[in-house]
A and B are shown apart, each in its own frame.
Chain A
Amino acid sequence: MTSLLWIAIAFCAFVLVLPVWLAPVLGSESAAYSIHVENALQPPSLAAWFGTDNLGRSQWDRFLFGAGNSFYNAAGSLGIALPLCLVMGGIAGHKAGHWPDKAISWAIAMVHATPFFLVVVAFTAVFSPGLESLPWLIAAVIWAPPARLVRGEVIRLNESRFVLSERAGGLSRWTILLASILPLTLAPTAVSLLYLFPEIVGIDVALSFFGLGAQPPTPTLGRLIYDGLRRWDPAWWLATFPSLGLFAYCLLLHAMADMIGRITGAAGK
């Protein structure tokens, strides 16, 4: 089961970053950035599959590279958030009822209760705005719910028979945590983070309210959707194709998350 699980996780990671590799293959970076104002806001046609935007740029190419940027960004956020969740949740669960647990639970509640917009704007004062700092910003916000989940799992597993027998065998509590308990929490944590993926793209939209996020002219899915909705009439295609693409990708991710869930569920029996 373990090897199957790792294969599943590796496959998910591959699918997550696939658009980054596919973009230069299926599209052209120069077409995504070249401005032709005489072709502004053209509807979809054979020459421009997804139409053109207000500066005459090919929406097909901007969609491909935008998807690549967004998913790369999201994958980066998940990659940063995952170890953070495991560490924080693991310590909190391991020391349940003591001050490390209380401190970490307090931090989790703080993240939930703080207005996200405020964190974003303050963050950009410390780090320069741009695609490079975005994964860190998003990871700083999304780690909280899965960390709570990890904490719960660690508390539950701490009372399980195999842990008790390992303890009786003389292994230290920290060794048991690192070698036995945390690996078992990896799958549900990964699944939980995968379910957050669509919200990560949504954060890009929220950043647009403050003029933050990816710097122009770099496209991202969230930005394409937001700008497209604002030009819905007369250019319905600007928001439609990125939205459909995002829908389809989210469905795929949910299916993968379900698959991982089924694998771990099957192993539990």
Chain B
Amino acid sequence: MNPRLGYALSILGILLRGFSFVSGLVVFCFALSYLAPGDPARSVLGPNARESDVESLRHEMGWDLPLTGQLTRYIGELAHFRLGQSTVSGLPVLTEINNHFRYTVLIGGIAVSLSLALALAINWLLLINEALRPIIPILRLGVSAPSFLIALVSALTSGSLLSSWGLGSAGAYELSLAAMLGPALAVTVYPTALMTALLRDRCIGIRISSYCRAALAYGYGPNSLFWRVMLPNSAGILASAWINQLSVVLFSTLLVEQFFSISGGGALLIRSIQAKDTPVITGVVLLNGLFFLTINAVGLWLEKNMNHIRRGLPSP
């Protein structure tokens, strides 16, 4: 077979698999939303509206159709690249998602970046200075404890401290690094502890290996050992763990947003599920599915291409 044709077919295969996954996800979540209790017509018109008005709105919007009827209507809209409008606010779904999820993305982004940086820094410090070993039981605590609890307790603590410095937390809700620092700190504790522990285990394993002994014999100091031997050989597992933490961070972010009263993705999702705002729910699920596919693919690529031992040593 022509290599280019083979390449194109494999890309097509990947796209088809991705499409089938996302469409299955959307159908599944649409069905879950249909099953969920609640009446969107009643949510729009309020608890005091007359039953005849509620029925009339329900009929007009197609909310009295069976699941297959509603799903067909929705797929028809999707085929025209229309995600619809929120039944709660009347705004387009993409506008609602953009307005809310940018806070979530920023908090999550700061949190995972911080966690990686801290994991590297802590392990480097542990390597160059054995006096810092008492940190290890604290790390263990961070890994053992529920991520939600650490997030909530951190939210409480960082909220009090940082807001008195005028930084982040509930003092300011602007979409900026400083404003989202408090919530990000709350979220970053668990992934930091986990990645630090992972990297430490890996470094200990590399430390007792023969090529590491060879490096020491070459005259590598602790710094060189860490940055030129241990880190390159841990990059794969660290990157995979970092990628996997994205979904954990997302869940923690949704909880922390509630506590900091940030009107982010978590608030949108909870409001939409409670009001049975199906267009927003399926819109969020669709984008979440695409995000999940992406991080999955990246994680697999990282595992395949970075998880090998580089035994050759550069000169010290």
Contact = CB atoms under 8 A, between A and B. Distances in A.
Interface in B251-268: 251, 255, 258-259
Interface of B, helix, strand, loop or mixed by DSSP: helix
Interface stretch (A25-33, A93-101, A115-123): A115-123
A229 B256 CA distance: 12
A87 interface: no
Nearest to A203: B148
Report the interface size class on chain A.
35 or more
Contacts of A124: 37
Nearest to B153: A243
A115 B269 contact: yes
Contact of A114 (B37, B144, B147, B285): B285
B227 to A, nearest CB: 30
Chain B interface bracket (under 10, 10 to 19, 20 to 34, 35 or more): 35 or more
Contact of B33 (A112, A122, A225): A122
16 contacts: A110-B25, A113-B25, A113-B289, A114-B28, A116-B251, A121-B36, A121-B37, A122-B32, A198-B149, A209-B258, A232-B156, A243-B149, A247-B144, A250-B145, A250-B146, A254-B143
Contacts of B149: 198, 201-202, 225, 243, 246-247
Nearest to B270: A209
Interface in B123-152: 140-141, 143-149, 152
A265 to B, nearest CB: 13
Give the dominant DSSP class at A's interface: helix
Nearest to A124: B37
A198 B193 CA distance: 15
B307 interface: no
Nearest to B289: A113
Contacts of B224: none
Contacts of A198: 144-147, 149
